[in-house]
């Protein structure tokens, strides 16, 4: 891996006249991406749901002075959490989002109960301008309050038992989010640098091939001259050995043995039966 790194460095240094302009072009394009990508702004707000002071029950026969009143902030039970979850589902409807943000708008918002999951409703928005982000938070908060009242009226709940939504945190001052732009610039820079290295290696390979071809052409043998100037090629045949004297006899073919070298095999004589034997 280290050798590959230093090999890349050597190629880039050797072809600096290609790599340097490409790196400068990469910087210019990265700056262009940073400038052209719009800056996003975010704002937020918080709602809290509270129970009525008289509780969740109401009787018309009961006199107002006889109603037991309690502190609404001491009645954070599971019903408020359920109501907050219902409101998040209503705000998450695409039709509601299009109504609040506007058709074709790039502004977005999110509504959730946060990590606690209690009666708190957190609103967060993003838009291309600070004014749009803050305005959208206000619209979402107002829509939540109206939707809460509409849901309770639809259920025919007594008005004295309505759950109320209080704005706990008003729309905050919108702040710029540059994280998205930085990610775009980083991705563009990495891609352009990889293309720069690839282009440098490709140019280096092409130039090396052209150089080798020129060297081969310049190192070819010149054409041989014609006519009397042509010298006969040197003979590499082995020198002929002197032939032995044969004293007027024709030369013996090579490989045939002479009288001293030839071996003659004579068959042994068979015994004659007419000769006397020991029995005779």
Task: Tell me if 148 sits within 8 A of 165, measured CB to CB.
Answer: yes
pLDDT in tens, the chain (280 residues): 445 777 777 887 888 888 888 888 888 888 888 888 888 899 999 999 988 766 656 556 556 555 556 666 656 678 888 889 989 999 999 999 999 988 888 899 999 998 877 789 999 999 989 999 999 999 999 999 999 999 889 888 888 788 889 899 999 999 888 777 788 888 888 888 888 888 888 888 888 888 888 888 776 544 555 554 445 555 555 555 555 555 555 555 555 555 555 555 666 665 555 555 555 4
Q: Looking at residue 176, what is its pLDDT? A: 87
HEC string of 10-75 equals HHHHHCHHHHHHHHHHHHHHHHHHHHHCCCEEEEEEEEEEECCCCCCCCCCCCCHHHCCCCCHHHC
What pLDDT is recorded for position 212? 85
Cα dihedral sign, 184-190-195-200: positive
pLDDT at 19: 83
CATH code of the region 41-176: 3.30.70.1130
pLDDT of residue 132: 92
């Amino acid at each position: 891996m280290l050798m590959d790194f230093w090999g890349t460095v050597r190629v880039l240094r050797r072809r600096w006249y290609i790599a340097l302009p490409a790196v400068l072009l990469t910087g210019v394009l990265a700056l262009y991406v940073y400038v052209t990508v719009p800056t996003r702004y975010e704002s937020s707000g918080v709602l809290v749901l509270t129970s009525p002071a008289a509780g969740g029950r109401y009787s018309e026969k009961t006199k107002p002075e006889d109603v037991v009143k309690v502190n609404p902030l001491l009645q954070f039970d599971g019903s408020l959490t359920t109501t907050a979850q219902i409101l998040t589902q209503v705000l998450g409807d695409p039709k509601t989002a299009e109504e609040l943000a506007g058709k074709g708008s790039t502004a977005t918002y999110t509504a959730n109960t946060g990590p606690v999951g209690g009666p708190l409703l957190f609103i967060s928005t993003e838009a291309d301008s600070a004014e749009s982000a803050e305005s959208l938070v206000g619209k979402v908060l107002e829509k939540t309050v109206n939707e809460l009242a509409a849901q309770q009226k639809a259920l025919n709940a007594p008005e004295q038992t309505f759950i109320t939504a209080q704005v706990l945190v008003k729309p905050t001052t919108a702040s710029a989010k540059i994280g998205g732009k930085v990610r775009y610039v980083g991705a563009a820079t990495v891609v352009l640098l990889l293309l720069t290295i690839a282009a440098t290696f490709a140019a280096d390979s092409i130039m090396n091939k052209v150089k080798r071809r020129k060297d081969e052409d310049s190192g070819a043998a010149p054409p041989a001259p014609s006519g009397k100037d042509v010298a006969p090629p040197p003979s590499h045949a082995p020198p002929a050995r002197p032939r032995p004297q044969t004293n007027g006899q024709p030369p013996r073919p090579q490989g045939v043995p002479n009288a001293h070298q030839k071996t003659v095999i004579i068959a042994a004589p068979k015994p004659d039966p007419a000769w006397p034997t020991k029995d005779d």
